[in-house]
Amino acid sequence: MSNQLSDRINSVTPSATLEMAAKARELRASGKDIIGLSLGEPDFKVPDYIKNAAVDAVNEGYNSYTPVDGYVELKDAIITKFKRDNNLNYEPTQIVVSTGAKQALYNVAQVCLNKGDEVILPCPYWVSYSDIVKLADGVPVEVPTSLENDFKMTAEQLEAAITPNTKMLWYSSPCNPSGSIYSKEELRELADVLQKYPQIIVVSDEIYEHINYGVTEHASMAEFEDMFDRTVTVNGVAKAFAMTGWRIGYIGAPAYIARATNKLQGQVTSGANCIAQRAVITALLESPARIEFMVKEFKGRRKLILELLNDIEGFTCNEPEGAFYVFPDVKAFFGRTVKGKEIKNASDFAMYLLEEANVATVTGDAFGNGNCIRISYAASENDIREAIARIKAVL
């Protein structure tokens, strides 16, 4: 009866990251020894001081509906975090807490876009951006970048992509999937172009902010005074605190966007989970130094996976500066037939790795770049070693 469904949902592609993770789970359940490098999910335990804050919240009787835009104390903690880490000065009316950064992004698209409005997405972009935009009747405009330029969009490319219908620019830095980080100078160059187009709102997704390997310092578009009133800064606790299932994300935004988001959320999900919100107050107010051990660990894994991949002929990698993904170019394999299977594109390649090497990765097509695949190194060193050895063997 799928013809009874809306055109809207029929036009949406399922999330490739979640789909691949589900497929890996299914194969594992059927007895296959699958190594999952498809999902961007830290494999660390949530630090005890955060877990204890959640337990305290349960014992203190937090169980009622929460304010739609988040507890006042959490909004204050977010304001403190933005000031401490990003040099951003938000008022409480500019903060909205949501059920994950994904909902925050969805909200922003729903409240900002009209039918036909164009959203510039430098490629590769995070898998859900284009469908979130389409769900709001917007039009994703992909701007291809190159491995040679570390997968970053230049000011010239931005300007060339702008049309009278351009309403927004969305990007993540550190980038999922490439790990690239825009320096403050590079953001300034983009901001200089945007000065000529005051109708364009920027969504700066900074959820990997703390997963930074120290080459390029994190910078926020909203730090520039002339961009503050037209930038939505998106963040969350899934990555930095290994709290993917707690589902807390948030925005700092112009007050009119925050107000509209609050109105939308009030009709859709209401406020985010009460216990998770109380725990996140503690997570954000404690020093970021307490989560540095995870970044150190990821840095070691990054070195390892790059060494192993660069040892396989046909893989070309950039050096990710943040997040926990590598995004190797694998087009050298396209057109080859291995073990009787023809590899025409990145999807075939990822499927080949799943079926023959029992390693789950994600096709680059899902991120707007069909020459690459994404490999998450949010996995143990043992799994990384075994996975890449298997990949090497089947190629």
Residues binding ligand GLU (CB under 6 A): 15, 17-18, 39-40, 102, 127-128, 176
Bridge partners (DSSP) of residue 185 are none
Residue 31's CB: how many other CB atoms inside 10 A?
Answer: 7
CB of 31 to ligand PMP, least distance (A): 29
207 binds, among ligand PMP, ligand GLU, none (CB under 5 to 8 A by kind): ligand PMP
SS3 of residue 41 by DSSP = coil
Tokens representing 337 are 């037939």
Q: Which of 203, 343 has the CB closer to ligand PMP?
A: 203
Q: Which of 81, 102 has the CB closer to ligand GLU?
A: 102
Tell me which residues in 85-104 interact with ligand PMP (CB under 6 A).
100-102
Task: For strands 118-123 and 139-144, give the pairing.
Answer: parallel
Q: Which of 111, 175 has the CB closer to ligand GLU?
A: 175
CB of 376 to ligand GLU, least distance (A): 6
Among 69, 131, 186, 205, binds ligand PMP (CB under 6 A): 205
Q: Which of 272, 343 has the CB closer to ligand PMP?
A: 272
SS3 of residue 169 by DSSP = strand
> Could you say which DSSP state residue 115 is in?
T
HSE-CB at 353 with a 13 A cutoff on CA atoms is 27
Instruction: Report d(CA 96, CA 92) in Å as an integer.
Output: 8
* Residue showing the smallest CB distance to ligand PMP in the complex: 100
Instruction: Report d(CA 51, CA 296) in Å as an integer.
Output: 22
218 binds, among ligand GLU, ligand PMP, none (CB under 5 to 8 A by kind): none
Tokens representing 348 are 């075939």
- C-beta separation of 90 from 69 below 8 A: no
Dihedral sign, Cα of residue 117, residue 118, residue 119, residue 125: positive
285 binds, among ligand PMP, ligand GLU, none (CB under 5 to 8 A by kind): none
18 binds, among ligand GLU, ligand PMP, none (CB under 5 to 8 A by kind): ligand GLU
CB of 166 to ligand GLU, least distance (A): 26
Does the protein bind ligand PMP through residue 131 (CB under 6 A)? no
Closest CA to 92 of 252, 330, 296, 326: 252
Binding stretches for ligand PMP (CB under 6 A): 40, 100-102, 126, 172, 176, 205, 207, 236, 238, 244, 249
